[in-house]
Amino acid sequence: MSKPLSDHDRKKQISVRGLAGVENVTELKQNFNRHLHFTLVKDRNVATRRDYYFALAHTVRDHLIGRWIRTQQHYYEKDPKRVYYISLEFYMGRTLQNTMVNLALENACDEATYQLGLDMEELQDMEEDAGLGNGGLGRLAACFLDSMASLGLAAYGYGIRYEFGIFNQKIVNGWQVEEADDWLRFGNPWEKARPEYMRPVHFYGRTEHHPDGVKLVDTQVVLALPYDTPIPGYRNNIVNTMRLWSAKAPCDFNLKDFNVGGYIQAVLDRNLAENISRVLYPNDNFFEGKELRLKQEYFVVSATLQDIIRRFKVSKFGSREIARTDFSKLPDKVAIQLNDTHPAMAIPELMRVLVDEEKLEWEKAWDICVRTCAYTNHTVLPEALERWPVDLFAHLLPRHLEIVYEINRRHLEVIAAKYPGDNGRLCRMSLIEEGGQKRINMAHLCIVGSHAVNGVAQIHSDILKATVLAVFQKTHFTQITLAEAENACYLLFLNLCEQRIGEDFIRDLDQLQSLRKYVNDEERFVDNKWALKTNSPSLRLNSSNSIPLTVPFMQAAPGYHTAKMIIRLITAIGEVVNNDPVIGDRLKVIFLENYRVTLAERAIPAADLSEQISTAGTEASGTGNMKFMLNGALTIGTMDGANVEMAEEAGEDNLFIFGMRVDDVDALDMKGYHAEAYYNRLPELKQAIDQIAGGFFSPKQPDLFKEIVNMMMHHDRFKVFADYEDYMKCQEKVNALYKNPKEWTKKVIYNIAGCGKFSSDRTITQYAREIWGMEPTLEKIPAPDDKI
């Protein structure tokens, strides 16, 4: 094996990092020094590494501003259809490097900082992750923003500017401990507050029905203060906007009387209103049903719709020439995409605006609403489905409850006419679940109120069609396999692929197909993989160290007891395995603490084997699976989520597929799953379970893991033991192949070559054409003169 390229060599070889022209470098240095002086108010004697990071961030940001303003002017002039991606999560990670890459400034900045005696990578490491998401759903939203800008779509991301993002995970004595993610503490150089565009959001109150319409009175107002973040496209000078709302109490908040005590208390109580944007709920795929969360959902929806409608009204097209806004044109100019049901309130809120404020007739408003909105379903797990208690709704959003009831009444009237006497069907299709506590089924609301519903992988869509959607007989149902492999940050095979097939594949991942030609030239792939591993300081790897590592990572929602116990079990197994003299250096178990975007970018390229082992039918898509695939890991996985399509694209022989298919799982459900049967039949499984139950991994607390064992033996919804035997056999195949690097690497090449489908540009193009009625322009707008 030849010596891996050094970091420095590698960088110089990557032309896509942009040219480090002398002029560029000189100007960057000047601007860097100017920002250090005027923006950071420091000189080089007292500046800290963080000050230097901020100076660099501001220097790079300057290159965005002209492009940002121009893009928005361009949209105003051309007035294209706009797409609004509303999401409770945008898991952005860091911004600096992505911006430099998209603006082709990376080499020039590297050179400029080098000449200033600084190390750019050290400065980049000072940036806090914007962790405004839990996992796949939020990371996807971030990738979509990137792709929409790269494809030249007039797109906006709308969400909440959480003051605290996903918690920082610490492992203390083997247990997960959560720390607040105070990511804004040192300021955020990428955002711009826009207090001039603040909007009121109304909560509580009561409705009054007058002859000329419905009035909502005695509400509590919270202001939504927008913060804009630029979203640059890849080398096309387009910069779109992500607008995140922050909650602000109005000046007269809680003003009751004029005595001093009342005044002080009123000021203190402003926190209550401002708590709305305080913290991201750390529940992935889990519905908790808290009032504060419902407030967050309505808060983002109400502020965003005010923005959308204002922009529509003042658009050239909208109606400035016409006396009254013609809302029948709204679906031609606006597409609203709901990222799961979290922003589902957009549907009744749009109805409220059109009917109560704009005085449209219900039927007309409903037609506009349905043609404007579209909904993406992200999961079929019942515990994730949002079902808000009617009581809570009635209190917090009384007018919206009336509207939801009216939507439901009309919806059920149509069904009843179509299927006379079929009461069972009416119950199954109702937006309101009766029996016990009355609840609003938000997925049903989205299905009824949208013109398009989509699932996120072929198998997930098939399951949806056979279950929820079969009931609704929804005509416009599409299937868009998700993808996000494209994001530049995850493209660490860049260097090699570029040398082989040119850099165009960055815009068009399908071009990776041509790598198949090099399937017998695997030596360089091996070298490159080593370079990636050694670039992963968080794993403490070096090239002389070839220990097989098991590196699990996970974050458990703070209230999710079983998940926390599983983390404790993993760390306990690590303690035993890592100190076992017989195992020695042949295996290590290292729990990767505080998994987040930045860590994923380092860890994923270092991996050889990607474990995607959900019980078939439970994982909607997965996106981590695609990232590993593109970065040169092989997959051991079940036929679930996007694994199915990965196998299709790379060839099933090039993945390690095992376990039950969805049909097998259904059949097992019919027959009845009995964990003890597997436990009694498989001695290895029995031994492992007995060791966990008997305190082998927790000698000081022998009973520590009894509850996990009890769960697995008696109420395991995921029926894990049913896949155990096949999984172990499959791992033996993995081991055998790993001993043959040539054959292993061939499979890796076929996997990378098959990644085209998993480009988020491909995904967004499909959304644009099939759902939004838009066509990617792929246009470049002229670069502004960046001289500042």
User: Which residue ranges make up the site for ligand PLP (CB under 6 A)?
Assistant: 135-136, 139, 595-597, 600, 622-624, 627
What secondary structure, in 3-state letters, does 376-431 show? Answer: ECCCCCHHHCCEEEHHHHHHHCHHHHHHHHHHHHHHHHHHHHHCCCCHHHHHHHCC
What minimum distance in Å lies between the beta carbon of 597 and ligand PLP?
Answer: 5
In the complex, the smallest distance separating the C-beta of residue 18 from ligand PLP, rounded to whole angstroms, is 25
Smallest separation, CB 38 to ligand PLP (Å): 35
Residue nearest to ligand PLP (CB): 624
| Nearest distance from C-beta of residue 573 to ligand PLP, angstroms | 21
Question: Least distance from C-beta 600 to ligand PLP, angstroms?
Answer: 4
Which lies closer to ligand PLP via its Cβ, residue 331 or residue 624? 624
d(CA 26, CA 20): 10
State the virtual CA torsion across 453, 457, 460, 465 in degrees, nearest 10.
40
Nearer to ligand PLP, 533 or 627 (CB): 627
Alpha helices in 166-323 (DSSP H): 260-268, 270-274, 291-314
Query: How do strand 130-132 and strand 90-93 relate by DSSP bridges?
Result: antiparallel
Are residues 185 and 174 in contact, defined by beta-carbon separation less than 8 angstroms?
A: no
Q: How far is the CB of 616 from ligand PLP (least distance, A)?
A: 16
Residues forming beta bridges with residue 176, ordered by sequence position: 171
Euclidean distance between CA atoms 370 and 452, whole angstroms: 9
Q: How open is the CA angle 694-697-698, to the nearest 5 degrees? A: 80
Stated length of the chain: 788
Q: Which is nearer to ligand PLP, 118 or 613 (CB)?
A: 613
Task: Please name which of 478, 484, 521, 479 lies closest in space to residue 499, comparing C-alpha atoms.
Answer: 521
Which DSSP string do the residues of 435-484 spell out, in sequence order?
A: SSS-EEEHHHHHHHH-SEEEESSHHHHHHHHHTHHHHHT-S-EEE-----
Decide whether 139 or 295 has the Cβ nearer to ligand PLP.
Answer: 139
Q: Which residues pair with 441 in a beta bridge?
A: 387
CA distance linking residue 493 with residue 501, whole number of Å: 12
Taking the least distance from each CB to ligand PLP, the nearer of 305 and 597 is: 597
CB nearer ligand PLP, residue 65 or residue 590: 590
Q: How far is the CB of 10 from ligand PLP (least distance, A)?
A: 23
Residue 301 pairs in a beta bridge with none
Task: State the minimum distance, in angstroms, from the CB of residue 595 to ligand PLP.
Answer: 6
Strands 90-93 and 199-203: unpaired
Closer CB to ligand PLP, 139 or 533, in the complex:
139
Q: Which is nearer to ligand PLP, 315 or 612 (CB)?
A: 612
Query: Which residue, 349 or 649, is less far from ligand PLP as judged by CB?
Result: 649
Distance between CA atoms of residues 634 and 645, nearest Å: 14
Query: Shortest Cβ distance from residue 596 to ligand PLP (Å)?
Result: 5
Closer CB to ligand PLP, 242 or 600, in the complex:
600
576 touches 185 (CB < 8 A): no
Q: Which two tokens stand for residue 718?
A: 């995921």
CB of 113 within 8 A of CB of 119? yes
Shortest separation between residue 464's beta carbon and ligand PLP, angstroms: 18
Minimum CB–partner distance for residue 635 and ligand PLP (Å): 11
CB nearer to ligand PLP: pick between 135 and 230: 135
Classify 580 in phi/psi space as left (phi over 0), alpha (psi -120 to 50) or beta.
beta
